[in-house]
Amino acid sequence: GAVVSQHPSRVICKSGTSVKIECRSLDFQATTMFWYRQFPKQSLMLMATSNEGSKATYEQGVEKDKFLINHASLTLSTLTVTSAHPEDSSFYICSARDPGQGGETQYFGPGTRLLVL
Amino acid sequence: AQSVTQPDIHITVSEGASLELRCNYSYGATPYLFWYVQSPGQGLQLLLKYFSGDTLVQGIKGFEAEFKRSQSSFNLRKPSVHWSDAAEYFCAVGAWGNTPLVFGKGTRLSVIA
C-alpha cells in the first residue's frame, strides 16, 4: 500500500519556539493532504486540508496563523506550529490521498509527538 | 450531519475468541467506509475499505467487515483474535473527491489470555 512518512517522530521544544513537521508521500503524488491532531485516548480531530499549490483550508476553531501549512510539492506538506505553548502539546498525524486508489483512500503517517515545555 | 458512531468505547476479548466491533454512520452522500487500526503512539493503518460491490469486504490481518445499508452499519469482525490485535480501532466514512474523512471516537480492544 501507499506509504506516508512524517518527520520528526517526536520533538520537545521550549515555549515560544516554532516547530516544523514534515509529511511526505513516498510512493505516490498527493494533491491533497490532511493534518489531524489527536489528544490522549481520543479520536482524530481534523485541523486542515492541505492542497498542493494553494492555501490550506482550516477547520473551524483552528488558528491558521498559529498552524501554518505549506504544500509546496505533490509529495510534501509541512505544518509549522508557531510560538508553541504547552497547550499545543499533542500527537499530530498527517494523511494523504492516493489518487491511484481512486482518491478516496487516505493513508496516514506514523505521527509526530510534540511536547512543549 | 455526517457522523460515525462506535458504541463500544472498550472491548475485552479472550485470545482465540471471535470479535465484532460495531460502527454506525450517518452520511448524506454515497458513503465510502473504512476501518483503521492504531497501536499506541503510532499512526493509523488501513485495515479495509468499502466503496461498492460485494458488501462483505476482506482486509488485512484476517479482518472482514460487512456493509449493511438498511442498518447504516459497517461492523468489523475477526473469527479468532490474537494478542497482537490489541489496539484502537477507528471506523471512518468519506465520499468521492477531497472530502475529509469523518471518524468515530474509536474502540479500544484489549486481548486477554
* Three cell numbers, residue B108: 479500544
Task: Say if CB A90 and CB A45 are below 8 A apart.
Answer: no
Contacts of A6 in chain B (CB under 8 A): 43
Structure confidence by residue, pLDDT tens digits, A18-58: 999 999 999 888 888 999 999 888 889 999 999 888 899 99
Is B41 in Cβ contact with A105 (below 8 Å)?
Answer: no
Predicted pLDDT of residue A89: 96
pLDDT band for A105, please (50, 70, 90 cuts): confident
Neighbours of A110 (CB within 10 A): 17
Structure confidence by residue, pLDDT tens digits, B17-47: 999 999 999 987 778 999 999 998 888 999 9
Cα B50 to chain centroid distance, Å, stands at 11
Determine the distance in angstroms separating the CA of A7 from the nearest CA of chain B, rounded to an integer. Answer: 13
Determine the distance in angstroms separating the CA of A94 from the nearest CA of chain B, rounded to an integer. Answer: 9
Let me know if B2 is exposed, middle or buried by CB neighbors in 10 A (0-12, 13-18, 19+).
middle
Using a CB–CB cut-off of 8 Å, the residues of A that contact B are 1, 4, 6, 31-32, 34, 41-44, 46, 49, 51, 91, 93, 95, 97, 102-111, 113
Is B100 in Cβ contact with A111 (below 8 Å)?
Answer: no
Residues 6+ apart with CB under 8 A from B61: B37, B47, B78, B85
